[in-house]
Amino acid sequence: MKTINKYHYKKILVLGLAKSGVVAASLLHQLGAFVTVNDYKPFEENPDAQGLLEQGIKVICGSHPVELLDEGFELIVKNPGIPYSNPLVRGAVEMGLPIITEVELAYQIAEADMIGITGTNGKTTTTTLIYEMLKQAAKHPLIAGNIGTVASEVAQIATADNTMVVELSSFQLMGIDTFRPHIAILTNLYEAHLDYHKSWNEYVQAKMNITKKQTADDYLIVNADQEVLMNLAQESAAQIIPFSTKRYIENGASIKNGKLMFLGEEIIDRSEIALPGAHNLENILAATAAAKLKEVDNCDIVSVLSTFTGVKHRTQFVSELHERKFYNDSKATNILAASSALNAFNQPIILLAGGLDRGNGFEDLIPSLSKVKALVLFGQTANKLEEIGKKAGIQTIVHVDNVEEAVPTAYELSDRGDVILLSPACASWDQYKTFEVRGDIFIEAVHKLEKSKNF
């Protein structure tokens, strides 16, 4: 960890706790700042705030009072989940008070190189693939960000021998200043999180912040199959490394005659790749490009690609019961992600879907429902999805209360050879704290079914 003095004796407000706020507050306290923490959860119900108070950090809980801005703070470190429409945050912006996220702190203290991965879909799979490739090559990677441990926590233990592989959301990237990954990846861009960003342009600019401080010594790996991304890439000072699943690209990563290629060099035959789904080919190409830029040998890349079958909650194979295969794709919190999962299978599908109603329609899901023989729906969007199912010609549509109930219902609707797929196309927050919780409940329900049927 680098020794930095820029926060000595500075008054800093850490707004919002959860994992990132706790780490940021403790780190800033360690760096000599005068830290105040403000969290919405009441103090008596807030063990994180209680722990920070024991460290000697000032804690204010129960609300986000705008009056805090009168205390002369020089910086706000904001939890990414708190929107800029929050009155306190809005007031800070109007005052010109700098607002960052803990990812910026991570960059400032890290001794390690960073690979930053963002995009609408595919971030976690791409991040994990890069980590596994670097690990296979004994290059001492550390994985961080949305996928696991908070980046500013990992940065405290990283050395110059490590590479930090960091998954980054648009929420995090809105709060960076000097952040500069040596390798940045933009997997794809589709409309998402517009309830937070308010406009497509704001969302795009947040994603593009990943390359904002890059120079000609750095690399931007970008999806060449999206014209909007290739146009945006021209704004970057980094060296552009394109990837494409649709055409051969000599100066990037692509497929030629069934072979995965990078800069004209054959890496692996596509038939040897273990990870299913056409959408995952984008992630594989992006990850391979990053690994090659980090001088990973082809044999190490092949070793990972021929054995890696996916990340938990991302089209994750769970079990096969009486020739029905169960897949957990709880991470599919939007239409595009659910469509990608549906298009990955050729078998008949029983689809488990539904969740938080963000006000959007689901018409764009219809083309991907052609192999769906039955819908099992839950959550706030169940009625909307039923209408879409009817438009798609699906005859069997059942409503259930939750994911746990959906699993045995789906099994009873299925036949041998079917896929039973949880791919909700919605966020989980109407019923479950996170998509991980929703996915874990699905997995538990599958195993419970397995025992009840004496498989």
| pLDDT per residue as tens digits for the range 160-219 | 999 999 999 999 999 999 999 999 999 999 876 666 777 889 999 999 999 999 999 999
Cβ neighbours of residue 15 closer than 8 Å, sequence gap 6 or more:
21, 38, 64, 76, 77, 78, 79, 82, 88, 89
Beta strands in 122-216 (DSSP E): 141-145, 163-167, 183-186
DSSP state string for 30-90: HTT-EEEEEESS-GGG-HHHHHHHHTT-EEEESS--GGGGGG--SEEEE-TTS-TTSHHHH
Task: Report all structural domains of the chain as residue ranges with CATH numbers, in order of start.
Answer: 11-100 (3.40.50.720), 103-305 (3.40.1190.10), 316-452 (3.90.190.20)
Tokens representing 356 are 């938080």
pLDDT one-digit tens code per residue, 134-167? 999 999 999 998 777 899 999 999 999 999 999 9
pLDDT one-digit tens code per residue, 416-442? 999 999 999 999 999 999 999 999 999
DSSP-assigned beta bridge partners for residue 61: 39
Q: Residue 455 above 60 pLDDT?
A: no
pLDDT one-digit tens code per residue, 92-116? 999 999 999 999 999 999 999 999 9
Cβ neighbours of residue 63 closer than 8 Å, sequence gap 6 or more:
40
The mean per-residue pLDDT over the stretch 49-70 comes to 96
Beta strands in 140-275 (DSSP E): 141-145, 163-167, 183-186, 219-223, 239-243, 253-256, 259-262, 265-269
pLDDT one-digit tens code per residue, 299-333? 999 999 999 988 888 888 899 999 999 999 999 99
High-pLDDT (> 70) share of the chain, %:
98
pLDDT one-digit tens code per residue, 268-284? 999 999 987 778 999 99
Query: Helix, strand, coil: what percent of the chain each, to 5?
Result: 40, 20, 40
Strand bridging mode 419-422 / 316-321: unpaired
Would you state the pLDDT for residue 451?
A: 87
Would you state the pLDDT for residue 224?
A: 97
| Cα Rg of the chain, angstroms | 23
Which sign, positive or negative, has the C-alpha torsion 91, 146, 268, 302?
A: positive
Longest distance between any two alpha carbons in the chain, whole Å: 67
Q: To which H or E segment does residue 353 belong?
A: strand 349-353
Would you state the pLDDT for residue 344?
A: 85
Q: Return d(Cα 240, Cα 221) in angstroms, integer.
A: 6
Across the chain, mean pLDDT equals: 95
High-pLDDT (> 90) share of the chain, %:
87
- Residue in the block written with tokens 């020739």: 323
The mean per-residue pLDDT over the stretch 381-388 comes to 97
Would you state the pLDDT for residue 121?
A: 86
Q: Return d(Cα 352, Cα 373) in angstroms, integer.
A: 11
* 355 — pLDDT class (breaks 50, 70, 90): very high
- Residue in the block written with tokens 């005068």: 34
pLDDT one-digit tens code per residue, 11-24? 999 999 988 999 99
* 447 — pLDDT class (breaks 50, 70, 90): very high
As separate numbers, helices (DSSP H) first and strands (DSSP E) second, the chain gives: 16, 20
The mean per-residue pLDDT over the stretch 118-139 comes to 95
Q: Return d(Cα 222, Cα 239) in angstroms, integer.
A: 10
